[in-house]
Structure 1
Amino acid sequence: MSRSPCHAVRHCPAPGARRAPVARLAGRATTVMAACIALVALAGVAGYALGLHSAAQELRTDASRRLDSYGSALGSELQRYGYLPSVIVLSSTVRQVLDHPGDPRAVDAANRFLEAANRNAGTAAIYVLDTQGLTLASSNWNKPVSFVGANLAFRPYFRDAMRGKPGRFYGIGTVSDVPGLFFSQPLRIQGRIAGVVAAKVDLDKVAMPWQSAPDPVLVVDDHGVVFLTSVAGWRFRTLERLSARVRSRLAQTRQYSAAGPLQELDLRHAGEVAGGELYKLPRNAAVPAGLSARDSYMLIRAKVPGTDWLILSLSDTRKVEQAAARSALAGVALAGLLEATLLFASQRRKVLRERLTAREALEQAYGELETRVLVRTAALTRVNKALQREIDERQRAQEALRSTMEQLVQAGKMAALGQMATGIAHELNQPLTALHTLSDNAVVLLDKQRQGEARANLESISRLVRRMATITGELKSFARKAPAQWQPGRCSEAVDDAVSLLRQRLQREGVDLRIRMPADEPAVACDEVRLQQVVLNLLINAVDALRGRGAPRVDITLEFEPPGSSPRRARLRVADNGPGIPAESMDRLFEPFYTTKAQGVGLGLGLSIAQRIAGEAGGSIVARNREGGGAEFEIELPVHEPDIRSHVGDA
């Protein structure tokens, strides 16, 4: 049976009904697609931001670590060369040229001494200036460019030294036009500043770790002037515009006059990332090979230890941007993976495998990171052990030096005892003879029942024994090998102890000993036993010099600066009326093992030990010839000032 057309129409969907689901599906797909695109974009932005911050933080950390290492290396070099002037000021040759600046022989000896010291130290120049800033002697005295005769009183390092403190100054030499770092040290003679010793170090010839660094490194002074850098074209430029006051100060010291006008480096600020400032390289200066003025660079600052200098580095941020791009891609990939998981449930197994692969890659990266941490930790451990070994070696060297000094002091004591042996033997021989006679008489008197007289003999024997014990006790106290106890002592007691050991020899040789001591004598900052040894050595030398002369005489005087002097000093003088000190021996008088006595008499250590003892106590010892004839030695020591604040605190 055939159906009617109306039946057929009743089962066919209408055209509007068919288009509605399609439109809904299309709209839903559009919404889902838009959401997916938005999610991907958001993941990319978040990944880029996180990756940028993380990579920038790592770049900043690595750059800061390198910069600290660079600063420590530079600080170590400054410390290594900074001790040189303080060693040079101890030279008697340098002191001689300040005492006799017009003596050609003194000047020539100083020039040659400074030339040898400069060659051994590897410095650019070492020179000596008087109190007016005039160069008297220099290591480059025989070079085409010599500092001799140049007046450098305008330099800050000279003014600092004349104020009594070490100086340090970097600048371009006004004589040589060569930049360098200048160290200075005041040279004191008898407590006053008699001149200045200066050393110049060419830092361009000192190997610095940043010379092979890929990033530009700059060292700037407190005015913001770049004076050391791995980029030659940036040297002697400023980080910012200098004020008129700073330019006037630089003109007065002529610190960078030879470099011409100081131009601004013109680093352009380009924002911040992860706490680090970004800059563009200057257009008006040479850009190092491999770098671009269009890219941004992270500026890291650090202090150079022991100075007011700053060390800076500019780290290329292209790797940071690349890492951020990779992080953004990773975020996009992660979002796409999530979307693929939500949209294609049928591919769940594949997605799980991809996640497992990603996890393994992350674990591998974590393992690599742990390995890097272990390697760096091991490197730091090795460095710490090396530093500890160096500290131990220095401590051992100091102990060896201290032990050697104690042995030299003991040798000086034994030499002094050897010279006093005859007198001491005579001093003990008389009581021994009397003891022999008295003991024999006591036996006879006891046999004759004369107890009273025997008792008197025994009392005499007791007195003689006590006298001998006093003599041997003084000898044992003097000869005892013990470390110095740096406690306040009195000069008069040290003089009395030394005179008691030499009393027999003084009487035997008819020496007229005159001692003048103040009534209100304060203590000095020196160990009394060591001070006794110094006085004894000077007395022995004086008596040796008076041998065979008529009316021999030794004067010992003690003077103190008035209260209120800062610092207050004591001056102990030992003088004789002998032949005096030969001129050719004056410069070498305090050298170890140098002596003007006959061979076999003394070790030549007495004056050297005396000088070392006075120096360790914060004082000095000088020798001179008296106008009326004879020699005079003056020991200058600081007066012990008790800490008033500690007494107030105790109260």
Structure 2
Amino acid sequence: MRSNVRMKIRGIPLWAWAAAAALYVGVAVAAVGFAGSRAIDALAEVGAHRLDLLAASLKSELGRFEMMPAIVARQDSVRALLAAGSRASPDLVREVDTYLEAVSNEAGSLAVDVIDLQGNVIAASNWNQSFSFVGTNVSYRPYFKDALAHGSGRFFGIGTNTGMPGLYFASAVRDAGKPIGAAAVKLSVDALEAAWRAPGEAALVIDGNGVIVISTVPDWKFTALQPITAQRQRDIQSSRQYAGRTVDVLPYRRVGENKDDGHGTAWLGRFPDWRRPGHTARFLVMSRPAPQAGDSVMVLLDTAGARHQQELAFAFVTGAFLIAGLYALYAAQRRRTIAEKLKAQDALRRANDQLEITVAQRTAALTAANERMQQEIVERKRTEQRLRDTQQEVVHAGKLAVLGQMAAGLTHELNQPLVAIRTLCDNARTFFERDQPAQAVANLERVARLVDGMAGLTGELKAFARKPDVERMAVSLCEAVAHARLIYEARIRDERVQLDARIPAGSTVWAESSQLQQVIVNLLGNALDAVHNEERRIITIAAADPDARERVLFTIADSGPGIAPDVLAHLFEPFVTTKPRGQGLGLGLAITSRIVEGFGAKISAANRADGGAQFTIEFAAATSQRLVHGR
């Protein structure tokens, strides 16, 4: 009897209790781990989309100012001031100061400067303010050195005069091909930081030194995520990048390994909690390279939600095992009661009792089977509901990704026409000042055409979904090509691209003028992207005279790496692109194909035998006979 007591507790064997405890521990650990892993994976998806939006907004914000120094450098009065040096008249200095002030106010920058070869600021947009940069020497600044050495420079630092942090863009001012000075633009990132702030997360930009230069947590700015060597500290001090500050390391601790999904890295770490001073919190850290070389974008997401999911999983498993344990105790107690009653019955009723027990057992089995069936039905409904919820989340995530890509793509498409408009407006003003209204009016007409082209860009996505009605007419190929060259004039010059256009005089085709210009702009932009990283940068635009079928073959060829065979077969399909993620929508060639088909023309692409890609459009020639027939 004692042995039986020692081997059982409340009628259940000890080995059963031990097995139940081991099963409970194993299931609890697995459930907590699974819930945590799923929650972190979901948080990582949110972080990836957040990084897409941060990178797109950073590229859009900084892209507005990147071309400003080059535009200022082309101003005649700026070149005249640098050429004159100390002999410059006060009127010329005042003219340049006023021009820089107007440019800075219109663009919303902190300052616009003109710097001579010795690094002295000789004109500035804040010339009439108490903290004017005029007379300041910036020869030690890397952006000035890079502009003279390479034509352009970029640098993030704290102003030595104002103590205000900002991003500097610089461009060399040239005369007869030689640099005679530089133009620089300083912009603030305060508005960008304010737009990035979101509850429960921190957004950062880390420069090439590993120092946080943009942060939604003010206390973290100008701290490093890794120790700075003594030599690097001396280099930073010599350039006064952080206005003489010693860069300290942000105190944090990694609690997980790096994971790289091809679009960035993710890891877990404990960081100071800016919401509760003196405390730390665990965050999911995700980062990827920024659109500007050498920088990276990082986002910290609070993992409190993942911990809550783990707690819920643990509570669910514990509750389920408690219910199962109570049910086991109840079943054991009930069995003992039945056994005692059976022993008290006499022999005459044993048969009847045995029959009742059998009926009860079969009834219990049927009831248990029915309960299991009902549980399976409920579980299946829950699984179907979870599947529908997951599908909705996937669709929503896809929409967010496409929205981020569309924002980046439209910014890229509008940037070049804006630069051309700015240049033409400056030139028109110069022509009016020189009493040359005819040239000024011609520039303004080009501006109007560029504005019409930009308005057409916003209608391209609608054109992709619905084929518009196109009124075809005779359009000059020479004018369409000239329009495209004007839009990419600065890029062709800066990237030293050899553009060879061989269009016979008087070549006309059946098309719509603005849409034909958009087609050539898209194809020329793709060709410039293709030769960007090549040693030989050659683009050839050609058109042949009408053949016997009165067709004109128009081609654009480049010296790039060509098109992969698996991409070539689907090149004109929507969302097919060879560009890195975040740099293209995959809609450009699909829209171009629809526009060309609207002309009654045909477009094709192929790889050339000597390297590079070639796009060919077969137009209908606009001959005099066709014009008469069309009327």
1:64 is aligned to 2:48: yes
1:288 is aligned to 2:278: no
1:201 is aligned to 2:168: no
Q: List runs of 5+ in structure 2 lacking aligned partners.
A: 261-265, 332-363, 428-437, 443-475, 483-497, 506-609, 612-631
For residues 478-521 of structure 1, what are the alpha-carbon distances to aligned partners after superposition, in whole Å with 9 as ceiling and x for unaligned?
Answer: xx9944989xxxxxxxxxxxxxxxxxxxxxxxxxxxxxxxxxxx
Q: List runs of 5+ in structure 1 lacking aligned partners.
A: 1-17, 406-410, 416-479, 487-522, 531-645
Matches within 5 A, 1:468-617: 482-483=478-479
Corresponding residue of 1:368: 389
Amino acid in structure 1 at the alignment position of 2:270: K
1:160 is aligned to 2:181: no
The structure-2 alpha-carbon separation of the partners of 1:384 and 1:313, relative to structure 1 and needing over 3 Å to count, comes to closer
Instruction: For 2:187 and 2:422, locate their aligned partners in 1 and report how far apart those are by CA, in whole Å.
Output: 29
For residues 548-574 of structure 1, what are the alpha-carbon distances to aligned partners after superposition, in whole Å with 9 as ceiling and x for unaligned?
Answer: xxxxxxxxxxxxxxxxxxxxxxxxxxx
Corresponding residue of 2:167: 181
1:106 is aligned to 2:123: no
Decide which structure has the larger Cα Rg and report it: 1
Instruction: For 1:388 and 1:205, locate their aligned partners in 2 and report how far apart those are by CA, in whole Å.
Output: 22
Instruction: For 1:222 and 1:166, locate their aligned partners in 2 and report how far apart those are by CA, in whole Å.
Output: 18
* Aligned with residue 38 of structure 1, among 14, 22, 45: 22
1:54 is aligned to 2:44: no
Amino acid in structure 1 at the alignment position of 2:210: G
Give the drift of 1:115.
0.6
1:278 is aligned to 2:268: yes
SS of residue paired to 1:197 = strand
SS of residue paired to 2:197 = helix
Amino acid in structure 2 at the alignment position of 1:364: Q
Give TM-score, length-normalised by structure 1: 0.55
Matches within 5 A, 1:632-651: none
* Aligned with residue 251 of structure 2, among 253, 259, 266: 266
Instruction: For 2:204 and 2:328, locate their aligned partners in 1 and report how far apart those are by CA, in whole Å.
Output: 54
Give the drift of 1:174.
1.4
The structure-2 alpha-carbon separation of the partners of 1:152 and 1:40, relative to structure 1 and needing over 3 Å to count, comes to same
Give the drift of 1:44.
0.4
The structure-2 alpha-carbon separation of the partners of 1:289 and 1:93, relative to structure 1 and needing over 3 Å to count, comes to same
Give the drift of 1:121.
0.7
Q: Is the 8 A contact 1:133 1:151 kept in 2?
A: yes
Amino acid in structure 2 at the alignment position of 1:45: V
SS of residue paired to 1:257 = coil
For residues 220-241 of structure 1, what are the alpha-carbon distances to aligned partners after superposition, in whole Å with 9 as ceiling and x for unaligned?
Answer: 1111111111111111112222
Instruction: For 1:361 and 1:528, locate their aligned partners in 2 and report how far apart those are by CA, in whole Å.
Output: 67
Q: Is the 8 A contact 2:56 2:408 kept in 1?
A: no
Q: Is the 8 A contact 2:200 2:302 kept in 1?
A: no
Give the drift of 1:359.
3.1
Corresponding residue of 2:627: none
Amino acid in structure 2 at the alignment position of 1:362: T
Instruction: For 1:243 and 1:95, locate their aligned partners in 2 and report how far apart those are by CA, in whole Å.
Output: 41
Amino acid in structure 2 at the alignment position of 1:375: H
SS of residue paired to 1:281 = strand
The structure-2 alpha-carbon separation of the partners of 1:148 and 1:401, relative to structure 1 and needing over 3 Å to count, comes to closer
Corresponding residue of 1:377: 398
Q: Is the 8 A contact 2:64 2:415 kept in 1?
A: no
The structure-2 alpha-carbon separation of the partners of 1:350 and 1:126, relative to structure 1 and needing over 3 Å to count, comes to same
1:77 is aligned to 2:77: no
Q: Is the 8 A contact 2:67 2:419 kept in 1?
A: no
Corresponding residue of 2:101: 115
* Aligned with residue 242 of structure 1, among 222, 225, 228: 228
Give TM-score, length-normalised by structure 2: 0.56
SS of residue paired to 1:45 = helix
Give the drift of 1:380.
4.6
Instruction: For 1:214 and 1:32, locate their aligned partners in 2 and report how far apart those are by CA, in whole Å.
Output: 46
Give the drift of 1:30.
2.1
SS of residue paired to 1:31 = helix
Corresponding residue of 1:14: none
The structure-2 alpha-carbon separation of the partners of 1:112 and 1:312, relative to structure 1 and needing over 3 Å to count, comes to same
The structure-2 alpha-carbon separation of the partners of 1:365 and 1:261, relative to structure 1 and needing over 3 Å to count, comes to same
Corresponding residue of 1:212: 198
Amino acid in structure 1 at the alignment position of 2:381: E
Q: Is the 8 A contact 1:74 1:208 kept in 2?
A: no
Corresponding residue of 2:509: none
Amino acid in structure 2 at the alignment position of 1:97: L
Instruction: For 2:223 and 2:158, locate their aligned partners in 1 and report how far apart those are by CA, in whole Å.
Output: 14
The structure-2 alpha-carbon separation of the partners of 1:149 and 1:292, relative to structure 1 and needing over 3 Å to count, comes to closer
Corresponding residue of 1:311: 297
The structure-2 alpha-carbon separation of the partners of 1:393 and 1:271, relative to structure 1 and needing over 3 Å to count, comes to closer
Give the drift of 1:255.
0.4
SS of residue paired to 1:362 = helix
Corresponding residue of 2:111: 125
The structure-2 alpha-carbon separation of the partners of 1:118 and 1:303, relative to structure 1 and needing over 3 Å to count, comes to same
Amino acid in structure 2 at the alignment position of 1:90: R
Instruction: For 2:246 and 2:275, locate their aligned partners in 1 and report how far apart those are by CA, in whole Å.
Output: 26
Corresponding residue of 1:539: none
SS of residue paired to 2:305 = helix
The structure-2 alpha-carbon separation of the partners of 1:127 and 1:248, relative to structure 1 and needing over 3 Å to count, comes to same
Corresponding residue of 2:533: none
The structure-2 alpha-carbon separation of the partners of 1:22 and 1:211, relative to structure 1 and needing over 3 Å to count, comes to closer
Q: Is the 8 A contact 1:217 1:229 kept in 2?
A: yes
The structure-2 alpha-carbon separation of the partners of 1:172 and 1:391, relative to structure 1 and needing over 3 Å to count, comes to closer
Instruction: For 1:203 and 1:386, locate their aligned partners in 2 and report how far apart those are by CA, in whole Å.
Output: 20
Instruction: For 1:261 and 1:115, locate their aligned partners in 2 and report how far apart those are by CA, in whole Å.
Output: 34
Corresponding residue of 2:286: 300
For residues 197-255 of structure 1, what are the alpha-carbon distances to aligned partners after superposition, in whole Å with 9 as ceiling and x for unaligned?
Answer: 10000111346542235312222111111111111111111222211111111011000
1:252 is aligned to 2:273: no
SS of residue paired to 2:249 = coil
SS of residue paired to 1:374 = helix
The structure-2 alpha-carbon separation of the partners of 1:274 and 1:81, relative to structure 1 and needing over 3 Å to count, comes to closer
Amino acid in structure 2 at the alignment position of 1:96: A
Q: Is the 8 A contact 2:194 2:216 kept in 1?
A: no
Aligned residue pairs, count = 404
Amino acid in structure 2 at the alignment position of 1:231: V
The structure-2 alpha-carbon separation of the partners of 1:362 and 1:97, relative to structure 1 and needing over 3 Å to count, comes to same
The structure-2 alpha-carbon separation of the partners of 1:316 and 1:89, relative to structure 1 and needing over 3 Å to count, comes to same
Corresponding residue of 1:137: 123
Give the drift of 1:128.
0.6
Give the drift of 1:172.
0.6
1:322 is aligned to 2:343: no
Instruction: For 2:417 and 2:204, locate their aligned partners in 1 and report how far apart those are by CA, in whole Å.
Output: 38
Amino acid in structure 2 at the alignment position of 1:93: S
Amino acid in structure 2 at the alignment position of 1:319: G
For residues 265-320 of structure 1, what are the alpha-carbon distances to aligned partners after superposition, in whole Å with 9 as ceiling and x for unaligned?
Answer: 111233449784322224xxxx4225873432222222111221122222222211
Matches within 5 A, 1:346-365: 348=368, 349-365=370-386
